[in-house]
Amino acid sequence: MLEIRNLTKRFGGVTAVDDISFRVAKGHIHAVIGPNGAGKTTLVNMISGVYRCDGGSVWLDGADITNIPTDRLVYRGVCRTFQNLEICGRMTVLENVLLGFDRYMNKSLLPTLFRSRQLLEEERRYTERAMHLLGLIGIEKYARQEARNLSYGILKKLEIVRALATSPELILLDEPVAGLNPKETSEVAELIRTVAADEVTVILIEHDMRMVMELSDRITVMHFGKKLAEGTPDEIRNDPKVIEAYLGGNK
Ligand SMILES: Nc1ncnc2c1ncn2[C@@H]1O[C@H](COP(=O)(O)OP(=O)(O)OP(=O)(O)O)[C@@H](O)[C@H]1O
Ligand SMILES: [Mg+2]
């Protein structure tokens, strides 16, 4: 379903992502792990059209989607969350989710929504759907509150819900549980499982190894921009190269 072929990105003298290739089957959870600075976020930025690739290509369901900008990729069913939250603090939780539906709405600007009867009806439907998605992770009770007044944990969940509102085929999650407590972490893990069971393909960047090992179908390990290993959680757990990269420090 998703095929990454020889992706490469350079920043000046640094090759942040160096000839990375892998394939992900539909509805699978594919983790990309590696030490800080390994190139994981840069890889997500290329797949999601934030950075132009210096080499290689990205294929989704057989179509070449390399270097399509993020705002166009959403129409191809690709969306992502950010390592640093990108939530609109002055909007309510509900409004943030409604932004995610933007691709389906008649009017792209929310304030124009509330005019005709037809648009009111549309707003009602999307609000219902948004409340359903918020309910999946238990934050529907905050729907009418301004995002900036809420805790970090709630905003991390909100970011995933907003991404889901685009009805993606592929969702890229960059450290979705960083900074969350164990309870919030298991709630997000459960949501990711539900999403994948719904045939959405998931790319998961995460430092929480327990979560990665429990959730992933396959794992790609990056180290200094290169692919160090790829395999099932069991294969990765027992791979001497991986153990060395994590425990042996920088070489
Ligand atoms: N916009 C940029 N300009 C210059 N260098 C960059 C840029 N983005 C990333 N880099 C460099 O590319 C390398 C990979 O960074 P990246 O953020 O992709 O790592 P990461 O694996 O996501 O790390 P972390 O686990 O800390 O999030 C690093 O050496 C980083 O300094
Ligand atoms: Mg990163």
Total domains, the chain: 2
- Residue 250 is predicted with a pLDDT of 45
- Residue 78 is predicted with a pLDDT of 93
Q: How far is the CA of 19 from the centre of ligand 1 (A)?
A: 16
- Residue 251 is predicted with a pLDDT of 40
The protein residue with its alpha carbon nearest to ligand 1, atom 7, reads 11
pLDDT-above-70 percentage for the chain: 91
Whether residue 43 has pLDDT greater than 80: yes
Same domain, residue pair 73 and 174: yes
**Helix/strand/coil (H/E/C) assignment for every residue in 59-103:** EECCEECCCCCHHHHHHHCEEECCCCCCCCCCCEHHHHHHHHHHH
Which protein residues are within 6 Å of ligand 1, measured from CB?
Answer: 11, 14, 16, 34, 36-42, 83
Domain of residue 153 covers 89-167
Please report, as a single letter, which amino acid is at residue 19: D
- Residue 75 is predicted with a pLDDT of 87
Q: Which ligand is nearest to the CA of 39?
A: 1
Ligand 1 pocket test, pick from 14, 20, 51 with the greatest ligand atom count within 8 Å of Cβ, gives 14
Same domain, residue pair 100 and 209: no
Same domain, residue pair 186 and 205: yes
Q: Which of 74, 88, 86, 90 is nearest to 174 (CA)?
A: 86
Tell me the pLDDT band of 241, cut-offs 50, 70 and 90.
very high
Same domain, residue pair 207 and 173: yes
Mean per-residue pLDDT of the chain: 90
Which of 134, 167, 200 delimits the end of a domain? 167
- Residue 171 is predicted with a pLDDT of 96
Q: Which ligand is nearest to the CA of 207?
A: 1
Q: How far is the CA of 85 from the centre of ligand 2 (A)?
A: 12
Q: How far is the CA of 131 from the centre of ligand 2 (A)?
A: 30
Q: What's the rounded mean pLDDT across residues 53-60? A: 97
Q: Is residue 60 part of a domain?
A: yes
Same domain, residue pair 187 and 227: yes
- Residue 86 is predicted with a pLDDT of 80
Which pTM does this prediction carry? 0.91
Please, are residues 113 and 105 in contact by the beta-carbon 8 Å criterion?
A: yes
Tens of pLDDT, residues 62-74? 999 999 998 889 8
Same domain, residue pair 66 and 99: no
